[in-house]
Amino acid sequence: MSKVSDELYEEITTITGKDRVRNDSFERRMYSHDLASLPKLMELGFKMMPDLVVKPKYDEEISEVMKIAASEGIPVVPRGGASWGLGGAMPVEGGIVLDLTRMNKILEIDEENLTASVEPGITWKMLQENLLRRGYIIGSYPSSAYAATVGGWINTGGVGVGSYKYGSAINQIISMEVVLPTGRIISTNGKKSSNFGGIDLNRLFFGAEGTLGIITKVGVRIYPAPQELRPVSYAFSDLNDLSKTVRVLTKTDIVPLHISFLDRNHFKFLREIGMAEDMQQLGGMLNIALEGDSEVIDLEDEIIENIAIKCKGEKQSQEFSEHEWKERFYELRTKRAGPSAVLGEVFVPVSSMGNMISATNKLIAKMKLRAAITGMVSDRNTVVFMPYYLSDERKLIRNIASLSFVKKLGDLAFEHGGRPAGLGLFFSGNIKRMYGHGYGVMRDLKDVLDPYDVMNPGKTTEGLTRFGIPIPSFALNLGMNVMSWVKHLMTKDKGVSA
Amino acid sequence: MKVKIEGISDDMYSCLQCGYCTSICPMFEQLGWESASPRGKIFYLKQLTQRNFLDRILRRQIEVNEDFIVRMFQCTGCGACEEVCHVNIKLHEFWKKVKEWLFEEGLISIEAHKKVHDRIHEFKNPFAEPPENRGNWLPDDVTLSKNPEVVFFQGCTEAYRKQEMAVTTARLLNKVNLPFTILGGDEWCCGSICINTGQIDYIKEFANHNVQAIKNTGAKTLVVACAGCYNTIKNEYLKIVGELPFELYHVSEFLEKLIAEGRIKFTKPIEKTVTFHDSCHLGRGAGVFDAPRKVIESIPGIKFVEMVRSRELSRCCGAGCGCVAAFKPIAVALAMERVLEAQNTGAELIITTCPFCNLNLNNVAMENGLIKTMDVVQLAYEAL
Ligand SMILES: Cc1cc2nc3c(=O)[nH]c(=O)nc-3n(C[C@H](O)[C@H](O)[C@H](O)COP(=O)(O)OP(=O)(O)OC[C@H]3O[C@@H](n4cnc5c(N)ncnc54)[C@H](O)[C@@H]3O)c2cc1C
Ligand code: SF4
Ligand code: SF4
């Protein structure tokens, strides 16, 4: 049964015009998923197809749609580039998907105050390119910048390329305009300068995963484009030496733009698809991007070289480093070797980097997976791990059995003082474990801001209460363990070295 | 009940659904719906190939319907998606395979495409012009050689719609004393549009005919005016006839060669600011980016400026793959975007290497009083 009656459909078309609303099943099907490839059977438990897809252009349109949704109890799911993989932009109870990609304009670039005002559906790549043409840059952006929207990254509480120097998505924001679940339009700051003191409303919506409101405008910080950007890469035969280098580097005064790493297996898979040289001795690659005045970079480059060499790193050619830098947007190039891939993402403290690598490798070996570890150092304190494993979803049982890897990786992160990144639909069951009593406050906030429970329901703070039983947590904890056990009984994946 | 399309499974399953392609696809830019994006189309194809009893139980309507078919053909074949693809899918080939499958299944429902296909079969050109008039553009002052070194393949658009371009190339070849000939009525449409719309039934015959006709002249070099013909002969004919029995040049490459050999010397400076539009066929398709730029830059007086989107990431003019014929408003809108982008560089002229791009861009430019296009050969000829 559609949640959107014919009358409501008509009403909504009067808000946006007919050409920006679709209710046919062909188009709706296109909006029934995000990055994750899910089995059809998921549709037994969730209504992933929206009843309506609307493409708003203005905040007033969103506000009008929200008012109708609130009074009729229709779920509304905001959607940016749909490049997140935790089901955030995917309906679970049908309703309306708001595709925000048509709100993709740069409204203003204020060169005096170093801010830009943008609509939420612009991609980070597009924003960066436009700024660069004027001699400015954005501080940090997700490595999925080609597809990820400004609103999407803010809502996933993201860290990414440039976070080591410029911080996460929150540090890029000065102010936001948000349509609340009741349709009210508010501003979080309303000024072009930072907000000091009082409750920081920017923080409230940062990482809310589309469950507290819809961001319709963002004031971002911009920076003068640097004189030089110099990527440098170091090869290590042992990943422990690589993590040692990182730990030493985080204690220096040097603030590189970006630090990332890739392990031996990643390069092995690249070789399989014809994209890398034979690097037999490689344990892992450390990629560091330096940015600023050339003279300063020269100095930093030298200091880093000393540290890396002491830790048995081998400096790679400038050409190789440049190539690695260009490939920062292509972390899953290797997927073709699967052809399916499942990606996990967890944070741990820098001090646990080495141990986490060993533990992850043990898990990979135990589960007999074809997997690689990649990641980045997002600030002096934190390492983000993004291991992935390759499989073939056409061989269904083996594929589903391996899914437990992501859950187990999360457990490892907890053991090492970290946690999985993001909640969305699939990890909402983790919220209590992550925030303890803080979770109760989050729930209360959700109830106050979204009294009719229409704003992206069933996710983030709501995973524990829907239907009375914690579905995702149930699925993850019980189902995944069973799957892991099944996987254990199966023969090892093709191409896994013993 | 399952849909099976040969040779796409690995690619389809490799797709990460990251949406990089979506962000650059000109069709998505104009239509805005996920179903019009490369990512969306792959998603749906995967659904089709995975159809089973569960779809009925779950009431999932996954079918090859009119909406789907139209979307598959709403593609200019520009190949931009392939350029940014996260997992290196050869998307240009991928789309062709899907369209070929639709054709084989008798599912091509775009009337304009069918019409073009039938016309080419009958008239050897998509305009339904008499095939025997194909060489009528040749002016009296141009002499053809009986022992030609070069065959000039001017293509359908220059033969019937942009004759002045063909004339310029012919005069230029005469001026540099290069013995050449044309095939006249013996030159048939290269078949590019049929290949790019999946309608490949008579392509082999056309390819073999053209290659034989060129061979018959005894010339060892083929110079092609149109980027689309050039890409087709270079990449598609190769698959059909094997190694080509002649050396192949796009006219811009040939000009570059003549300049390098000192056979062309520019004497008249052209004091103009110009920009260059990479044709999708010549650039991403055939990998020729530098030759036209070198020609332009070797002309004295010229100030050359690049557009924001150039070379590998160039923006499609909107005309390709039967888009003008079937989806005119989209083709016009895309041409408008490109002309505006060119205008924003401050240039006075857009230099092109494909008569079809030239035509599509110029129509929009003329209607809106924006900067005009000029073929690279015409520019070079002016400076001689
Ligand atoms: C190759 C690859 C690399 C990646 N690298 C990174 C990385 O470096 N860092 C990182 O953090 N993530 C990364 N991701 C994950 C993902 O791309 C990011 O989270 C991205 O920022 C999501 O943006 P999106 O526009 O695609 O959001 P979507 O997937 O569309 O949405 C994400 C969530 O935000 C909500 N939302 C979207 N727009 C709005 C809005 N305007 N208002 C309210 N809610 C909204 C949605 O409801 C959903 O819950 C990567 C993904 C891929 C495929
Ligand atoms: S070839 Fe061009 S128009 Fe066609 S899907 Fe790819 S990007 Fe879009
Ligand atoms: S860029 Fe490639 S991998 Fe990404 S969605 Fe498009 S086709 Fe799929």
Q: pLDDT, tens digit, for every residue of A419-465?
A: 999 888 888 888 888 888 999 999 999 999 999 999 999 888 886 43
B49 touches chain A (CB under 8 A): no
- Taking CA atoms only, the protein residue closest to ligand 2 atom 8 is B25
Rounded Cα–Cα distance for residues B318 and B334 (Å):
5
Rounded Cα–Cα distance for residues A400 and A39 (Å):
9
Do B83 and B131 lie in one domain? The reply is: no
- In the prediction, which pLDDT does A468 show? 39
Residue extent(s) of CATH 3.40.462.40 domains in chain A = 228-420
Do B274 and B296 lie in one domain? The reply is: yes
Which value, to the nearest 10 degrees, does the dihedral of the CA atoms of residues A397, A374, A275, A84 take?
A: 60
CATH number assigned to the domain with residue range A6-99, chosen from the 4 options 3.30.460.10, 3.40.50.620, 3.40.50.2300, 3.30.43.10? 3.30.43.10
pLDDT of B245-299, one tens digit each? 999 999 999 999 999 999 999 999 999 999 999 999 999 999 999 999 999 999 9
* Contact assignment for A55 to B32 by CB distance below 8 Å: yes
Residue B187 lies in a domain: yes
Q: Would you say B64 and B3 are in contact if contact means Cβ atoms under 8 Å apart?
A: yes
Distances (CA, A) of B330 to A62, A367, B16, B26, B42: 27, 51, 28, 9, 22
Residue extent(s) of CATH 3.30.43.10 domains in chain A = 6-99
Residue of chain A nearest B37, judged by CA positions: A30
Residue B169 lies in a domain: yes
- Give the closest of B9, B18, B68 to A26, CB-based: B68
Rounded Cα–Cα distance for residues A452 and A162 (Å):
38
CATH 3.40.640.10 fits A106-224, yes or no: no
Ligand 3 site: residues with CB under 6 angstroms?
B 15-21, 38-39, 42, 84-87, 89
- In the prediction, which pLDDT does A41 show? 81
Q: Min CA distance, A249 vs chain B (Å)?
A: 31
Q: Would you say B193 and B76 are in contact if contact means Cβ atoms under 8 Å apart?
A: no
Do B178 and B225 lie in one domain? The reply is: yes
Does position B140 have pLDDT exceeding 60, yes or no?
yes
Q: Would you say A203 and A87 are in contact if contact means Cβ atoms under 8 Å apart?
A: no
Phi, psi angle pair for B72, to nearest 5° = -60, -30
CA of B25 to the centre of ligand 2 (A): 5
The first and second tokens of residue A452, run together, are: 């009719």
Distances (CA, A) of A68 to A355, A490, B7, B217: 52, 51, 47, 73
Residue B367 lies in a domain: yes
The first and second tokens of residue A103, run together, are: 């709100």
Residue A362, C-beta contacts closer than 8 angstroms, at least 6 positions apart = none
CA of B22 to the centre of ligand 3 (A): 8
Q: Min CA distance, B231 vs chain A (Å)?
A: 25
Residues of chain B with Cβ-Cβ distance to A43 below 8 Å are: 58, 60
B265 touches chain A (CB under 8 A): no
- In the prediction, which pLDDT does A198 show? 83
Closest-CA residue to B137 (of B183, B179, B177): B183
Q: Which among B77, B109, B141 is the end of a domain? A: B109
Into how many domains does chain B fold?
Answer: 3
Do B314 and B247 lie in one domain? The reply is: no
Contacts 24+ apart (CB under 8 A), B230-233: B230/B281, B230/B282, B230/B286, B231/B192, B231/B281, B231/B282, B231/B285, B231/B286, B232/B190, B232/B191, B232/B192, B232/B195, B232/B281, B233/B153, B233/B190
pLDDT of B101-134, one tens digit each? 999 999 877 999 999 999 999 999 999 999 999 9
- In the prediction, which pLDDT does B59 show? 86
Q: Would you say B196 and B96 are in contact if contact means Cβ atoms under 8 Å apart?
A: yes
Rounded Cα–Cα distance for residues A284 and A267 (Å):
9
Residue B3 lies in a domain: no
Do B99 and B137 lie in one domain? The reply is: no
Which chain A residues in 84-113 lie under 8 Å from chain B, judged by CB atoms? 99, 101-102
- In the prediction, which pLDDT does A399 show? 60
What CATH number corresponds to the domain at position B104?
A: 1.10.1060
Closest-CA residue to B314 (of B267, B345, B279): B279
Query: For A315-336, what is the HEC assignment?
Result: ECCHHHHHHHHHHHHCCCHHHH
Residue B84: give the domain boundaries: 9-109
Q: Which ligand is nearest to the CA of B45?
A: 3
Rounded Cα–Cα distance for residues A405 and A411 (Å):
10
Does pTM surpass 0.80?
Answer: yes
Residue B168 lies in a domain: yes
Rounded Cα–Cα distance for residues B101 and B233 (Å):
22
Place of tokens 């990606």: A343
Mutation site, B87, B308, B330, interface A, largest A CB count within 10 A: B87
Do B162 and B50 lie in one domain? The reply is: no
- In the prediction, which pLDDT does A370 show? 94
Do B297 and B277 lie in one domain? The reply is: yes
- In the prediction, which pLDDT does A488 show? 45
Place of tokens 């690598």: A357
Mutation site, A55, A100, A101, interface B, largest B CB count within 10 A: A101
What CATH number corresponds to the domain at position B217?
A: 3.40.50.1860
Rounded Cα–Cα distance for residues A116 and A172 (Å):
10
Residues of chain B with Cβ-Cβ distance to A44 below 8 Å are: 58
Angle between helices B91-104 and B66-73 (to 10 degrees): 140
pLDDT band at B157 (very low <50, low <70, confident <90, very high): very high
Does position B54 have pLDDT exceeding 60, yes or no?
yes
Do B295 and B310 lie in one domain? The reply is: yes
* Contact assignment for A22 to B23 by CB distance below 8 Å: no
Which chain A residues in 258-277 lie under 8 Å from chain B, judged by CB atoms? 273, 275
Mutation site, A330, A333, A392, A396, interface B, largest B CB count within 10 A: A330
Which chain A residues in 348-387 lie under 8 Å from chain B, judged by CB atoms? none
Residue of chain B nearest A56, judged by CA positions: B32
B382 touches chain A (CB under 8 A): no
Residue B345, C-beta contacts closer than 8 angstroms, at least 6 positions apart = B273, B275, B305, B306, B307
Rounded Cα–Cα distance for residues B370 and B368 (Å):
6
Do B136 and B235 lie in one domain? The reply is: yes
Q: Which among B109, B132, B152 is the end of a domain? A: B109
Q: Tell me, what DSSP letter sits at residue A83?
A: -
Q: Would you say A465 and A428 are in contact if contact means Cβ atoms under 8 Å apart?
A: no
Distances (CA, A) of A73 to A69, A215, A313: 5, 20, 58
CA of A486 to the centre of ligand 3 (A): 31
Q: Min CA distance, A24 vs chain B (Å)?
A: 10
Distances (CA, A) of A283 to A233, A374, B23, B207: 13, 12, 35, 52
For the CA atoms of chain A, what is the radius of gyration? 23
Tally of CB atoms within 10 A around B199 = 25
Distances (CA, A) of A122 to A104, A284, A443: 4, 35, 30
- Give the closest of B23, B87, B88 to A125, CB-based: B23
Ligand 2 and B40: CB distance under 6 A: no
Rounded Cα–Cα distance for residues B226 and B239 (Å):
20
Do B177 and B283 lie in one domain? The reply is: no
Q: Give CATH superfamily name and number for A228-420.
A: FAD-linked oxidase, cap domain/gating helix (3.40.462.40)
* Contact assignment for A40 to B13 by CB distance below 8 Å: no
Residues of chain B with Cβ-Cβ distance to A25 below 8 Å are: 61
What is the DSSP secondary-structure string of A324-386?
Answer: HHHGGG-TTGGGGGSSEEEE--EEEEGGGHHHHHHHHHHHHHHTT-EEE-EEEEEETTEEEE-
Query: For chain B, what is the HEC assignment?
Result: CCCCCCCCHHHHHHCCCCCHHHHHCHHHHHHCCHHHCHHHHHHHHHHHHCCCHHHHHCCCCCCCCHHHHHHHHCCCCCCHHHHHCCCCCCHHHHHHHHHHHHHHCCCCCCHHHHHHHHHHHHHCCCCCCCHHHCCCCCCCCCCCCCCCCEEEECHHHHHHCCHHHHHHHHHHHHHCCCCEECCHHHCCCCCHHHHHCCCCCCHHHHHHHHHHHHHHCCCCEEEECCHHHHHHHHHHHHHHHCCCCCEEEEHHHHHHHHHHCCCCCCCCCCCCEEEECCCCHHHHHCCCCHHHHHHHHCCCCCEEECCCCCHHHCCCCCCCCCHHHHCHHHHHHHHHHHHHHHHCCCCCEEEECCHHHHHHHHHHHHHHCCCEEEEHHHHHHHHC
- Taking CA atoms only, the protein residue closest to ligand 1 atom 49 is A88
Rounded Cα–Cα distance for residues B74 and A118 (Å):
30
Q: Tell me, what DSSP letter sits at residue A456?
A: S
Residue B4 lies in a domain: no
Q: Min CA distance, B343 vs chain A (Å)?
A: 16
- In the prediction, which pLDDT does A400 show? 64
CA of B80 to the centre of ligand 2 (A): 6
Ligand 2 and B80: CB distance under 6 A: yes
Q: Which among B87, B109, B131 is the end of a domain? A: B109
Rounded Cα–Cα distance for residues A39 and A43 (Å):
8
Q: What mean pLDDT, rounded, does chain B reach?
A: 95
B40 touches chain A (CB under 8 A): yes
Mutation site, B10, B11, B14, interface A, largest A CB count within 10 A: B14
Do B104 and B174 lie in one domain? The reply is: no
Q: Would you say A322 and A328 are in contact if contact means Cβ atoms under 8 Å apart?
A: no
Closest-CA residue to A151 (of A229, A205, A97, A230): A205
Residue A475, C-beta contacts closer than 8 angstroms, at least 6 positions apart = A429
- In the prediction, which pLDDT does A460 show? 87
* Contact assignment for B13 to A394 by CB distance below 8 Å: yes
Distances (CA, A) of A313 to A234, A245, B21: 6, 8, 36
B67 touches chain A (CB under 8 A): yes
* Contact assignment for B32 to A330 by CB distance below 8 Å: no
- Parallel, antiparallel, or unpaired: how do β-strands B273-276 and A173-179 relate? unpaired
- Taking CA atoms only, the protein residue closest to ligand 3 atom 4 is B18
Ligand 2 and B79: CB distance under 6 A: yes
Do B82 and B61 lie in one domain? The reply is: yes
Residue of chain A nearest B308, judged by CA positions: A133
- Give the closest of B18, B34, B89 to A147, CB-based: B18
- Give the closest of B35, B55, B84 to A30, CB-based: B35
- Write out residues in chain A with pLDDT < 50, as ranges: 464-469, 471-474, 476-491, 493-498
Which chain A residues in 296-335 lie under 8 Å from chain B, judged by CB atoms? 329-330, 332-333, 335
- Taking CA atoms only, the protein residue closest to ligand 1 atom 44 is A210
Residues of chain A with Cβ-Cβ distance to B9 below 8 Å are: 394
10 Å CB burial of residue B84 (0-12, 13-18, 19+) is buried
Angle A173-A178-A182 from CA coordinates, rounded to 5°: 155
Residues of chain B with Cβ-Cβ distance to A329 below 8 Å are: 20
Mutation site, A40, A52, A84, A153, interface B, largest B CB count within 10 A: A40
Rounded Cα–Cα distance for residues A190 and A206 (Å):
16
* Contact assignment for A333 to B87 by CB distance below 8 Å: yes
* Contact assignment for A339 to B14 by CB distance below 8 Å: yes
Q: Would you say A339 and B10 are in contact if contact means Cβ atoms under 8 Å apart?
A: yes
- 3-state SS, residue A477: helix
- Give the closest of A31, A37, A339 to B34, CB-based: A31
Residue of chain A nearest B17, judged by CA positions: A35
